[in-house]
Amino acid sequence: MITHAHIPAIDGLRAIAVLAVVLNHFDLGWPASGFLGVDVFFVISGYVISRSLYGSNQKTWPSFLGDFYARRIKRLLPALIACVVLTAIALSMFNPAAGASLKTGIFALMGLSNLYLWSQSSDYFAESSALNAYLHTWSLGVEEQFYLIFPLILWWSGMKIFGRPGARRMLWITGILSVASLVGFVVFQSVDPVSAFYWMPMRFWELGLGALAFAYQCARVGAAPSIGRWWIPLAALFVVFSLPASLSVLGAVLACGLTVWLVLMAGWSTSTERDLGILGHPVMVGIGRVSYSLYLWHWSVLVLSRWTIGMSGWLVPIQLALMGILAVASYRLIEVPLRHARWPGGSPAWVLVAGGGSVAAAVVLLWALGRPLSGSLFLGDPPITRSYGVETLSQPYSVDGVPGRWSGEDCVLSSNSDVFDRSSVPVCTIGEASMPRLLILGDSVSAAFVGASKALSGRYGWSVTVVSSWGASPVPEIPNTTAWREANERYWAEVVPALTAGLRAGDQVLLINDLAGYSPRKVGPRLEGKLALYERGLRRLSAELGDRGVGLAVVHGYPLVRELNCDPALAVGQWFTPFGSPCQFPERAESLQRRALLDRMLTGLDGEGVIRLVDLFDLFCPGERCTYQAADGALLYRDVFSHPSIEAAEMAGPAIGNRLPVHSN
């Protein structure tokens, strides 16, 4: 029998899901697929939301929607705002450049963090993801986007008005959409796994399964079936959580199917069966009730730990206790009181206004912490470097005693709307105009190397011109899917040809790009295809330049520290990192092994005389572990994106000059 009474077993199932996620995020080795707890949450949410909507007493669809969204705002928004804001303040105390996390937090407040993370091509399982304080809010974005369309589906199906006939229509509509979503989820896993992970349409099937479970209960004629042995699907769910992460697609399907089984049993249970064994135990029910706040705060605790004291086995009990305290406090002081309070105005419209105003205020605070107030709360010592922060990529640069000055802003395409004027070459050049020209091209990393012109223009006799395009592909043959796609196309189709057309015999082109994407942990057909396109592009460009007596050189990939998402201030250690830097620096051998295929391709081209290869790996990784410091202690990087510092670029100048034809002054 369908009732609207509270079902303790649903809370118990929430507890299982959130505990699986929390334990998985500790990286203790088990549960290997505990992240599937989020998939379990999706199914539960689909079921509970359908049940809530069906129980609404609103008679018109505008009031139906208004009442639903007002209740969602009161249920979800207060705890989210509190967690996002307090975490932002705490993070800013230990991270002087928390802009990336804070920007994710802004999108989280608007229910769009999944789309923002997708646009950044964020890999949920990458090491850098562990330092983003709001990464986990992607799932809230998926749910909130689902809430925008599902109430309309339920209303227009007639389920709310026409009972069983409407429930059957609901089954058909949601079933078709869920099947299409599941097919998309499976297909995209191989062609675009980031989209499959973050997009709501690819996750619709999981929430849809919960909705289908409730619609099936409503549509079924006759007495409820026997409950059966509840422990069978629960035990199977624990087995699924133990599957290797490589079987995540199979795991997601199994976890969602088993969750449907359990929620159906819970929904059909009688008053004497309603606990479903361990799922109804008071401890499990209690954890389930605070599961939303626990999900929010557990990640904040882990991220702040990684930025400060690090992650160690002996800290786990302390961290778990802190998570529990924050979750209970959030539930009792924020969730429950504000959920049942009468908000200003009282009507759903006023709740929407109050919620929107609260979000706007929180967004302004996070923006201020990330922009004008960036670094103002930092409790540590700022790094000692002439170039700290990504914004310094466009700062002007000049060399004492050498003509010319690199103006910065006029020499980069930093947005899709930027246009480069060929007449700007003089303000992008350091060195005598009569000298042979070295034209440096590439993405934002090439702009970071402008400091190399100190040695190149002085000791080695080059006139150095640097013109960069943010996010540019290493060669135009490689499709560009970044946020700077339009700038990339214009760069390679218009800017580069215009620049190379002015080169003379004896001049050189030097390509400098972030090549971390060509040295992934997993080698497969996708990498081989990209390397093939890269090689084809280098051969074509070398041939075109060579016809005019112009040489082509390429800077090799340096250590893969970008994955750490580590700020330079933390890389060198602070008083609040008593156990050492929280950055898990890669080993030299691992970095070299990962770039083996890239190395084979580039050294092969160098051996054929197609390019001159400039390998700076030893400069950027002088020891057995690739840290942020050179052999003399100088800071190698200026930001979390591993853009070399001015000091590193100046040190790289001689290494680059030694690989190019030498010209005397």
**Is 231 within a domain?**
yes
Does the structure show a pLDDT above 80 at 57?
no
CB atoms within 10 A of CB 630: 18
| Residue 381 CB-half CA count within 13 A | 9
- 313 plus 398 within the same structural domain: no
d(CA 541, CA 610): 9
pTM: 0.82
**Is 409 within a domain?**
yes
- 524 plus 431 within the same structural domain: yes
- 430 plus 332 within the same structural domain: no
What per-residue confidence (pLDDT) applies to 124?
47
Average pLDDT over residues 557-565: 83
What per-residue confidence (pLDDT) applies to 1?
47
Instruction: Give the whole-number percent of the chain exceeding pLDDT 90.
Output: 67
Alpha-carbon distances of 245 from 144, 189, 265, 520, rounded to whole Å: 26, 13, 28, 17
- 348 plus 209 within the same structural domain: yes
What per-residue confidence (pLDDT) applies to 612?
97
416, with CB counted inside 10 A (0-12, 13-18, 19+), is middle
CB atoms within 10 A of CB 360: 12
Structure tokens at 163: 């009972």
Structure-model confidence comparison of residues 421 and 411, the more confident one: 411
CB atoms within 10 A of CB 390: 17
Question: Do residues 472 and 491 make contact, with C-beta atoms less than 8 angstroms apart?
Answer: yes
Question: Do residues 479 and 473 make contact, with C-beta atoms less than 8 angstroms apart?
Answer: yes
Does the structure show a pLDDT above 90 at 126?
no
- 292 plus 394 within the same structural domain: no
With H, G, I as helix, E, B as strand and everything else as coil, classify residue 634. Answer: coil
- 357 plus 453 within the same structural domain: no
pLDDT band of residue 665 (cuts 50, 70, 90) is: very low
CB atoms within 10 A of CB 522: 8
Question: Cα angle at 441 between 439 and 447, to 5 degrees?
Answer: 105
Question: Across the chain, how many H-helices and E-strands are there?
Answer: 27, 7
Which contacts (CB < 8 Å, 24+ apart) does range 115-118 have?
115/141, 115/198, 115/199, 117/198, 118/194, 118/195, 118/197, 118/198, 118/199
Of the candidates 308, 225, 230, the one whose C-alpha atom is nearest the C-alpha of residue 268 is: 225
- 394 plus 353 within the same structural domain: no
| Residue 83 CB-half CA count within 13 A | 33
Alpha-carbon distances of 654 from 425, 509, 619, rounded to whole Å: 24, 17, 11
**Is 207 within a domain?**
yes
- 410 plus 319 within the same structural domain: no
d(CA 605, CA 484): 29
H-helix or E-strand spanning residue 468? strand 463-469
Of the candidates 335, 262, 266, the one whose C-alpha atom is nearest the C-alpha of residue 294 is: 335
d(CA 224, CA 219): 11
CB atoms within 10 A of CB 529: 11
Structure-model confidence comparison of residues 626 and 62, the more confident one: 626
Structure tokens at 126: 């990458």
Which residue stretches of 414-517 are H helix? 444-448, 453-458, 485-490, 496-501
Containing domain of residue 301, as a range?
8-370
**Summary mean pLDDT of the chain:** 90
Which contacts (CB < 8 Å, 24+ apart) does range 60-68 have?
61/152, 61/155, 63/348, 64/151, 64/155, 64/160, 65/151, 65/152, 65/155, 66/348, 66/349, 66/352, 67/348, 68/147, 68/151
- 579 plus 532 within the same structural domain: yes
* Structural domain count of the chain: 2
**Is 384 within a domain?**
no
- 321 plus 185 within the same structural domain: yes
> Is the backbone peptide bond immediately before 165 cis, with ω within 30 degrees of 0?
no
d(CA 182, CA 534): 34
d(CA 149, CA 285): 30
Average pLDDT over residues 123-140: 76
Question: Do residues 440 and 406 make contact, with C-beta atoms less than 8 angstroms apart?
Answer: no
Question: Do residues 516 and 563 make contact, with C-beta atoms less than 8 angstroms apart?
Answer: yes
**Is 114 within a domain?**
yes
- 80 plus 167 within the same structural domain: yes
Question: Do residues 425 and 503 make contact, with C-beta atoms less than 8 angstroms apart?
Answer: no
* pLDDT tens by residue, 354-399: 999 999 999 999 999 998 998 899 999 888 889 988 889 999 999 9
What per-residue confidence (pLDDT) applies to 272?
45
- 410 plus 360 within the same structural domain: no
Place of tokens 């029910």: 285
* pLDDT tens by residue, 492-508: 999 999 999 999 999 99
Could you tell me the CATH number of the domain that includes residue 638?
Answer: 3.40.50.1110
Strand 463-469 and strand 508-512: the pairing is unpaired
Structure-model confidence comparison of residues 650 and 517, the more confident one: 650
d(CA 652, CA 493): 29
Does the structure show a pLDDT above 70 at 226?
no
* pLDDT tens by residue, 253-274: 999 999 999 998 887 765 445 5
pLDDT band of residue 125 (cuts 50, 70, 90) is: very low
**Is 47 within a domain?**
yes
d(CA 534, CA 319): 46
pLDDT band of residue 59 (cuts 50, 70, 90) is: confident
d(CA 250, CA 257): 11
**Is 1 within a domain?**
no
d(CA 447, CA 444): 5
